[in-house]
């Protein structure tokens, strides 16, 4: 990126033109830990706090589901450390990811009162709650430090580690939001013990994304150990399971951060991590609440894998491996809404979002990606049809069989 030197340049006498240049430094930590709510683990207490006070004060926002499961532990943790605290419980659903929820947190924050620079807001929950609290923190008094503690697998490997915040508005996903870095992100796999199967798979979709676009070794790990990872929910109940989950995590988070760090504000519009996010935003919003984020992303990846195969960028064998792994990870590879009009609309939205070009990340075999700008509506419709056929092979076969034989 072109770097400009900070400063103020005046032109004219008396001056009538000024150019203001500056850099906002961003610096945050992403840390794997374990037993984050165990009183002997000080990470949560110390995260983002620059000054040691006599008595700590913390404002904590917790996902309702997480609160049901870990609320007691959280209170015990805070009580043990004699923290004065207020806990704000938020429902976590796409429908509740609105400015109304932002106001709920803001009003509770107003009532509690914090020393904005030394009492970081703590957000514990899935990606939705982290996105909401991130937005609150960026808006509250124009910026208030916060700590992210993702509890879902999507949060741990994707939504939790970047700097994006946002809420839905008027049927548009993340229409209002900001780029606002947390002070610290604490990643604790232990939360996954209580995650339901569907949400484990949901998170594996984002790990699979990183594998497909940049990490063949990660793909191999997922392929070799899918059942073990699912059975142990990546929490490492066996020695092998722990070693595999640890490496999967490290590669997924590290790979994600490698892509994010040089492009935190998304000025560069060609982003491999956008893979699976070209058609899924529209699909996810239209299908609400039927599809989870990672499910919609997987359907998008399935579609674009088929597209890539049709272009000769992915072999039939690799396409089969990919679909096989998706299914093994209990992720969907098709959805009935995947029709031409939805795809056209989604592509239009994505092109607008990417400043007039498709900039469509597409797999190159397994573990690499390139970008397409010349995808056609026909290609898309064909890919959707192929996907439908793959999903309903018997129907496709019957349809083929019933075609009048041109030779007969």
Q: Which of 95, 113, 320, 377 binds a second copy (CB under 8 A)?
A: 113
Phi, psi (5° rounding) for residue 41? -95, 115
Number of residues that bind a second copy (CB under 8 A): 75
Please report how close the Cβ of residue 249 comes to a second copy at its closest, in angstroms: 8
Q: Which of 101, 137, 138, 151 binds a second copy (CB under 8 A)?
A: 138
Cβ–Cβ under 8 Å, residues 294 and 277: no
182 to 42, 50, 302: CA distances (angstroms): 18, 14, 33
The neighbour count for residue 58, using CB atoms within 10 Å, is 23
CB under 8 A: which stretch of 113-121, 147-155, 207-215, 389-397 binds a second copy?
113-121
Active-site residue flag, 173: no
CB under 8 A: which stretch of 64-72, 211-219, 254-262, 330-338 binds a second copy?
254-262
52 binds a second copy (CB under 8 A): no
Please report how close the Cβ of residue 288 comes to a second copy at its closest, in angstroms: 18
Which residue in the block uniquely carries the two structure tokens 């404002």?
A: 59
Cβ–Cβ under 8 Å, residues 145 and 122: no
Please report how close the Cβ of residue 384 comes to a second copy at its closest, in angstroms: 26
Cβ–Cβ under 8 Å, residues 85 and 45: no
Please report how close the Cβ of residue 332 comes to a second copy at its closest, in angstroms: 28
Please tell me the distance from the alpha carbon of residue 276 to that of residue 294, in angstroms, as a whole number. 9
Q: Which of 41, 86, 93, 174 binds a second copy (CB under 8 A)?
A: 174
337 binds a second copy (CB under 8 A): no
Please tell me the distance from the alpha carbon of residue 187 to that of residue 100, in angstroms, as a whole number. 28
* Residue window 351-380: x/- pattern of binding to a second copy, with contact defined by CB under 8 A: -xx-xx------------------------
57 binds a second copy (CB under 8 A): no
Cβ–Cβ under 8 Å, residues 234 and 189: yes
Q: Which of 46, 79, 110, 227 binds a second copy (CB under 8 A)?
A: 110
Which CB, 119 or 300, lies closer to a second copy?
Answer: 119
Interhelix angle for 293-310 vs 377-391, to 10°?
Answer: 110
178 binds a second copy (CB under 8 A): yes
- Candidates 97, 164, 173, 214; catalytic one: 164
Judging by beta carbons within 10 Å of its beta carbon (0-12, 13-18, 19+), is residue 57 exposed, middle or buried? middle
Q: Which of 224, 258, 320, 339 binds a second copy (CB under 8 A)?
A: 258
């Amino acid at each position: 990126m072109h770097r400009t030197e900070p400063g103020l340049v005046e032109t004219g006498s008396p001056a009538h033109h000024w150019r203001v240049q500056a850099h906002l430094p961003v610096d945050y930590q992403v840390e794997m830990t374990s037993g984050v709510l165990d009183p002997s683990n000080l990470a949560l207490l110390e995260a983002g706090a620059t000054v040691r006070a006599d008595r700590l004060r913390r404002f904590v926002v917790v996902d309702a589901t997480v609160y049901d499961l870990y609320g007691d532990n959280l209170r015990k943790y805070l009580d043990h450390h004699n923290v004065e605290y207020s806990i704000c419980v938020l429902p976590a659903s796409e429908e509740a990811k609105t400015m109304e929820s932002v106001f709920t947190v803001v009003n509770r924050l107003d009532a509690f009162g914090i020393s904005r620079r030394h009492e970081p807001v703590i957000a514990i929950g899935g990606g939705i709650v982290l996105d909401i609290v991130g937005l609150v923190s960026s808006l509250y008094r124009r910026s208030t430090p916060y700590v992210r503690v993702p509890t879902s697998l999507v949060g741990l490997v994707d939504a939790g580690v970047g700097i994006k915040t946002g809420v839905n508005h008027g049927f548009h996903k993340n229409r209002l939001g900001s780029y606002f870095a947390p002070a610290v992100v604490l990643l604790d796999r232990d939360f996954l013990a209580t995650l339901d199967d569907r949400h484990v798979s949901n998170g594996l979709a984002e790990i699979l994304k990183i594998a497909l676009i940049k990490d063949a070794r990660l793909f191999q790990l997922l392929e070799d150990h899918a059942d073990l990872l699912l059975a142990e929910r990546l929490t490492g109940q066996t020695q092998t399971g722990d070693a595999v989950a640890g490496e999967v995590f490290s590669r997924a988070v590290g790979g994600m951060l490698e892509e994010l760090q040089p492009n935190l504000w998304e000025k560069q519009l060609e982003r491999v991590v956008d893979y699976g996010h070209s058609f899924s935003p529209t699909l996810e919003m239209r299908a609400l609440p039927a599809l989870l984020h990672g499910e919609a992303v997987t359907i998008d990846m399935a579609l674009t894998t088929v597209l890539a195969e049709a272009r000769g960028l992915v072999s039939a064998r690799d396409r089969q491996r990919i679909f096989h792994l998706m299914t093994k990870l209990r992720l969907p590879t098709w959805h009935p809404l995947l029709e031409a009009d939805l795809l056209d609309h989604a592509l239009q939205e994505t092109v607008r979002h990417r400043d007039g070009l498709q900039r469509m990340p597409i797999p190159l075999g397994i573990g690499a990606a390139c970008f397409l700008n010349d995808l056609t509506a026909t290609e898309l419709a064909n890919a959707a049809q192929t996907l439908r056929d793959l999903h309903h092979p018997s129907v496709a076969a019957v349809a083929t069989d019933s075609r009048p034989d041109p030779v007969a």
